[in-house]
């Protein structure tokens, strides 16, 4: 999958962006870029940024979630395999027009995160997607990024 993958954050009266910048080997920053086949034993790290208008956190909610989902073709896995809270708390907006507030995020995926070691009769072929939701998920502020297919074993 060609990275970065980016999609707009959808909500009225503004714009934003969810970006997946990298999928790397190992669960700490600085790993080598992952290819289409990933060994789950050392794990992997999905990283990127999410941007919202600076005025948005002033509405009382300043946090959101970024989650990584995996769906195994022909197999039983169809779930979140990692989430991270993103915090947009920052200084009060003092410029007009306000700019964008961008927060980095990383989701480590290690053994035990929901993707099992290879099992007989299962494809080990996963469709991965990242989803951003703002606030307690009762708002219509959200975005997704489709990462495509990976063989994870």
Give the tens place of pLDDT for each residue, 14-24. 688 999 999 99
pLDDT digits (tens, 9 = 90+) for 23-44: 999 999 999 999 999 999 999 9
In this prediction, residue 55 carries a pLDDT of: 78
Query: pLDDT category, 105, cuts 50, 70, 90?
Result: very high
pLDDT at 5: 81
* CA 43, chain centre distance (Å): 16
Q: Which of 63, 28, 51, 34 lies closest to 104 in space, CA to CA?
A: 51
Sign of CA dihedral 37, 109, 65, 105: negative
Q: Residue 45 CA to chain centroid, in angstroms?
A: 10
Burial of 62 (0-12, 13-18, 19+ CB in 10 A): middle
| Average per-residue pLDDT for the chain | 88
Domains by residue range for the chain, with CATH? 5-152 (2.60.40.2550)
Is residue 138 scored above 70 in pLDDT? no
């Amino acid at each position: 999958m060609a990275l970065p993958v980016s999609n707009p954050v959808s909500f009225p009266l503004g714009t934003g962006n969810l970006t997946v910048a990298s999928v790397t080997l190992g669960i700490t920053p600085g790993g080598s870029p992952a290819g289409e086949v990933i060994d789950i034993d050392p794990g992997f790290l999905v990283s990127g940024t999410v941007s919202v208008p600076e005025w948005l956190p002033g509405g009382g909610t300043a946090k959101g979630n970024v989650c990584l989902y995996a769906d195994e073709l022909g197999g039983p896995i169809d779930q979140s395999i990692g989430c991270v809270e993103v915090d947009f708390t920052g200084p009060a907006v003092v410029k007009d027009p306000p700019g964008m507030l961008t927060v980095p995020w990383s989701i480590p995926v290690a053994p035990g995160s929901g993707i099992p070691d290879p099992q007989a009769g299962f494809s080990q072929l996963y469709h991965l997607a990242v989803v951003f939701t703002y606030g307690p998920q009762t708002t219509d502020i959200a975005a997704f990024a489709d990462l495509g297919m990976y063989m994870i074993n």
